[in-house]
């Protein structure tokens, strides 16, 4: 008769909880313990989506879902075959947590409260008898035969399997303990951050948002579009966050100093904008510029752009003149701003980098360098764009790591 399987899950975040639940569900006789170094559990779950928890994204096609990950797309296709958005929705709803789809396809609990997700995960660990130990940072892990010795500040334990769900680290040294066990580490750099513009007057429009803007980084191939929000420090919103995710390494190499070109009209180009403006001028030549916001931009932004170009808002459309018309059109579709730095929110910090996916079997999440060790969540070199994709990766990798945590010793 086999001894009881002892599984240590390192990390009390979304991936750690889901991995522990999966391990205990699929191996009911196992002893499963979550070790969290801090006092707080599920910290990112709590703050995600402004405290509502963006559980996943309503993308139900595996090939399409994988395309939302700047790092990990190719590898995640295999993982999503085991557990994807459909499975996430079923998992939570089977436990009484109904999810809703918003206009941008983000999915939230119908309660609009992250506490609903926290309670669901916490209740599940309690029902299954999963132990949770807080204030337990792992100081070292050593492989001893087919088992693992975990060293904490005040104790040591021997376990059969280890699931690492420690999240990302802002510095490569944070992965040194995994390097010692033979893993390759992709250097971590920030992903999903906003742009700082300390010397740009547009920050005076803080709170103004545009439903669909196109943003590109000058001198690179980086380009993205979507909602854009002007903040008191610069620019944010999905258009900026997605750009930062896809360009994480490029922008890091630029030391976060670069110029962006903003098309405030989204997918409307200068030629199309010119045609619209000319038609408006012909139809309403006496209309004042301040009243001719035919592109439906927020009024504060439109007036700001006129002021930036020193165009009198009282000038009539028919008297605008060729030079000012060209300047206005060029600014609407090719407005430039200098970015000098970034803002990353500590609680929602996402990194590009981590354990190289070439070191991991994606159908089991087991380490190829250290058999018996499994990975889940952002500790891996996986990160998605904004919109619930990072949580989906956490649920998927956590589920697989726990389910396929082999009982063979």
Tell me the mean pLDDT in the region 156-160. Answer: 97
Res 408 pLDDT > 80: no
Position 23 scores a pLDDT of 97
Position 2 scores a pLDDT of 45
Q: Which residues contact 388 (CB under 8 A, 6 or more apart)?
A: 49, 54, 55, 56, 57, 106, 107
CATH number for the segment(s) 6-190+346-403: 3.50.50.60
Tell me the mean pLDDT in the region 127-145. Answer: 97
Cα(68)–Cα(104) distance, integer angstroms: 14
Tell me the mean pLDDT in the region 257-267. Answer: 98
Position 1 scores a pLDDT of 30
Position 409 scores a pLDDT of 39
Pairing mode, strands 185-191 and 223-230:
unpaired
pLDDT band per the 50, 70, 90 thresholds, residue 53: very high
Cα(35)–Cα(338) distance, integer angstroms: 44
Rg (CA), the chain: 25
Res 334 pLDDT > 50: yes
Tell me the mean pLDDT in the region 327-350. Answer: 90
Position 344 scores a pLDDT of 85
65-69, 86-90, 168-172, 220-224: the lowest-pLDDT one: 168-172
Position 345 scores a pLDDT of 73
Position 293 scores a pLDDT of 86
Could you give the percent of the chain with pLDDT greater than 70? 97
Position 3 scores a pLDDT of 59
Res 367 pLDDT > 80: yes
Position 66 scores a pLDDT of 98
Position 4 scores a pLDDT of 84
- Work out the number of other CB atoms within 10 angstroms of the CB of residue 404: 17
Tell me the mean pLDDT in the region 90-115. Answer: 98
Res 295 pLDDT > 60: yes
Please, where in the chain does CATH 3.50.50.60 lie? Answer: 6-190+346-403
């Amino acid at each position: 008769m086999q001894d009881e399987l002892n599984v240590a899950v390192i990390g009390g975040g979304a991936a750690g909880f889901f991995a522990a639940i999966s391990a205990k569900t699929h191996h009911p006789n196992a002893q499963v313990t979550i070790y969290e170094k801090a006092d707080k559990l599920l910290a990112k779950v709590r703050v995600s989506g402004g405290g509502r928890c963006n559980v996943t994204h309503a993308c139900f096609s595996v090939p399409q879902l994988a395309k939302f990950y700047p790092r990990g797309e190719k590898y995640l296709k295999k993982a999503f075959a085991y557990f994807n958005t459909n499975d996430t929705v079923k998992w939570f709803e089977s436990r009484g947590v109904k999810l809703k789809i918003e206009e941008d396809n983000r999915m939230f609990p119908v309660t609009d409260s992250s506490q609903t997700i926290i309670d669901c995960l916490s209740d599940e660990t309690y029902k299954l008898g999963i132990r949770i130990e807080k204030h337990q940072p792992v100081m070292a892990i050593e492989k001893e035969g087919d088992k693992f010795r975990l060293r904490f500040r005040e104790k040591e334990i021997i376990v059969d399997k280890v699931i690492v769900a420690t999240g990302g680290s802002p510095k490569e040294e944070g992965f040194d303990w995994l390097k010692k066990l033979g893993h390759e580490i992709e250097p971590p750099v920030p992903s999903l951050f906003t742009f700082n513009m300390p010397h740009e007057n547009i920050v005076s429009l803080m709170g103004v948002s545009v439903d669909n803007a196109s943003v590109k980084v000058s001198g690179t191939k980086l380009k993205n579009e979507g909602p854009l929000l002007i903040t008191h420090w610069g620019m944010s919103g999905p258009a900026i966050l997605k750009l930062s995710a896809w360009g994480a390494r490029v922008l890091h190499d630029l030391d976060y100093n670069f110029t962006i070109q903003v098309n405030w009209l989204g997918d409307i180009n200068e030629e199309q904008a010119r045609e619209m403006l000319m038609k408006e001028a012909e139809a309403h030549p006496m209309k004042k510029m301040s009243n001719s916001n035919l592109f439906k931009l927020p009024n504060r932004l439109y007036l700001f752009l006129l002021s930036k170009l020193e165009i009198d808002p009282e000038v009539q459309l028919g008297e605008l003149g060729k030079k000012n018309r060209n300047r206005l059109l060029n600014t609407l579709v090719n407005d430039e701003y200098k970015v000098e730095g970034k803002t990353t929110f500590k609680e929602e910090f996402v990194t590009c980098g981590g354990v190289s996916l070439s070191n991991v079997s994606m159908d089991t999440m087991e380490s190829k360098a250290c058999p018996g060790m499994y990975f889940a969540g952002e500790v891996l070199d996986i990160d998605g764009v904004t919109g619930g994709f990072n949580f989906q990766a956490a649920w998927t990798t956590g589920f697989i790591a726990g389910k396929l945590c082999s009982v063979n010793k």
